Amino acid sequence: EIYHPGVVDLAQGERSHSGQSSLRVTFSADEDGYGAYVFLPEQEHIFTRYLDYFETDFDFACGMKVHRLSSFNEGADVNWYDIISVVFGQGGGPSGRDFCGMNDPDTLACGYNGGPTDWGEVGAAAPIGRGRWQCVETEVRLNTPGQTDGEVRFWADSVLVAEQTGLNIRGGLTAGLDRVLFGGWYSNGCGGQNPCIDPQTPAVRYLDDLVVATTRIGCP
């Protein structure tokens, strides 16, 4: 199910890794974005994989969200808990938060974005670039309710980039993961410190070969 048509479209005959189409996301302004949701039965342990292509003039944001795994509380219309992946840009002027002009990618991270307990972030420098297809796979194993035995790992082009065990991701909740977002949004405000919040030019990202599984997937 695609969210925010216009920003997010099915591209045919443009960029694709396999087949003839891919998911295109065009960021024209700060906080533009979203993507395609996959809804699934509640899962305790899942792997997700997508292939990314950033155009050669892509201006990376201060903290661009690229992927999301959630557990949704329908009664309250909010997430029980939420996990996002972020690509952080390399920008930095005198204040360290000036993301004006073209910015390169730096760090890929997966972390807490809401829930009963702030379990932090798992991240590292990753080979994210422009003008080529790159494969990112994420693993999340939820903690046993009330215990600290959750796990998070992610791979870039089949190389394990970061992992952390002993995590308390959902506290005492029993709800499993039931929503996966392939896509994201362009967060470039840096907490109000960045004077150039919009991308230098419309920043185009393509996604292809999207998979959700209960075992390791690997890259095509």
Q: Would you say 22 and 158 are in contact if contact means Cβ atoms under 8 Å apart?
A: no
- 160 pairs with which residues across the strands? 155
Give the containing element (helix H, strand E) for 191: none
Mean pLDDT of the chain: 93
- Report residue 166's pLDDT band, with 50, 70 and 90 as the boundaries: very high
Please enumerate in sequence order all residues whose Cβ is within 8 A of that of 76, keeping only pairs 6 or more positions apart, or say none: none
Instruction: Please give the distance of CA 119 from its chain centroid, rounded to a whole number.
Output: 17
- Does the structure show a pLDDT above 80 at 3? no
Closest CA to 64 of 207, 210, 205: 205
pLDDT in tens, 87-100: 999 876 666 678 89
Q: Please tell me the pTM assigned to this model.
A: 0.93
What percent of the chain is predicted at pLDDT more than 70?
Answer: 95
**Structural tokens at position 187:** 């967060």
Edge-to-edge order in the sheet of strand 159-167: 8-12, 21-27, 203-213, 45-54, 133-141, 150-156, 159-167
Q: Would you say 153 and 128 are in contact if contact means Cβ atoms under 8 Å apart?
A: no
Phi/psi-derived region of residue 212, left when phi > 0, alpha when psi is between -120 and 50, beta in every other case: beta
pLDDT in tens, 130-158: 999 999 999 999 999 999 999 999 999 99
pLDDT in tens, 28-77: 999 999 999 999 999 999 999 999 999 999 999 999 999 999 999 999 99
What percent of the chain is predicted at pLDDT more than 90?
Answer: 80
